[in-house]
Structure 1
Amino acid sequence: MPKSSLVPSRVRLKRAYLPAEPDDGARILVDRLWPRGVSKEKAALDEWMKDVGPSTELRKWFGHDPERWDEFRRRYRGELRHHAEELGRLRALAGEGTVTLVYAARDEEHNEAVVLREVLLEGDRHSSGA
């Protein structure tokens, strides 16, 4: 299985409610929904890739319940298999410089950006069921 050539420090995670910083690089919102109370100016996004966010059904089922984390990760990885173009774009951006995956969840350990970062850093392994 191919290993990613991405440098882990180039793919960062950050809550949408934290201020943008120059070293964030390309700031990409990876939620399907816009973060409540965050203006476009404050978000300082380079792009909004809502299609890479979990489906509405999966997001509602998960409800950020840590007990459902492992199953959420499995299901979300399955959904990401249908977004090869967007994943390729994210990998290309990270190959050029730092990319910060922006998300709104309070839980910094159990959210879609964590899974998305894992998938990006693993390379193309996600397409083979990893």
Structure 2
Amino acid sequence: MKSSIQIKRAYEAPSDTDGLRVFVDRLWPRGLSKDTFHYDLWCKDLAPSSALRTWFGHKPERWDGFRRDYAVELKDEQAQARIGEVFAAAQGRRVTLVFGAKDTEHNQAVVLADVMNDYAKRHRIG
């Protein structure tokens, strides 16, 4: 199967087509128990920095700045290496980035998916 990226809220039920489920928040999602929330990897190190997350505060009017600054954080050598590790762990399967935010259009998984798609193109993954 060709590797692909999708995003899904932590509160949505897992599906057989999720492939590798990667939780991409620094904080545990509210109201979910460790027994009911399924993920394969928790990549806190790919989540936005605490300072950036706090500044953004999920305010849509700050989206452009958040998107720009988070993409810069993800260009870091360690973040790029971690992205490579995620693709390696997926072994060609789909990667589902799982996030806890209510807003499905303005969250870190949207930015991370774009960065990971660019990484996949540069490294000819999938």
TM-score class, shorter-chain normalisation, is 0.7 to 0.9
- In the TM superposition, residue 95 of structure 1 has moved relative to its aligned partner by 5.6
Q: Is 1:51 aligned to 2:48, yes or no? A: no
- In the superposition, the TM-score normalised over structure 2's length comes to 0.86
CA contact (8 A) 2:19 2:90 kept: no
**1:24 maps to what in 2?**
18
- Higher helix fraction (1 or 2): 1
Residue identity matched to 1:54:
P
The count of residues paired between Structure 1 and Structure 2 equals 119
Structure 1 unaligned residues grouped into runs of 5+:
1-5
Cα RMSD (Å): 1.9
Residue identity matched to 1:63:
G
Of 62, 83, 86, the residue aligned with 1:87 is 83
CA contact (8 A) 1:16 1:43 kept: yes
- After superposition, the C-alpha distances for 1:27-86 in whole angstroms (9 at most, x for unaligned) are 110001110111223221101000100011100100111111111011001111221211
- In the superposition, the TM-score normalised over structure 1's length comes to 0.83
**1:96 maps to what in 2?**
92
What is the percentage of aligned positions where both structures have the same residue? 48
Change (3 A) 1:23 1:125: closer
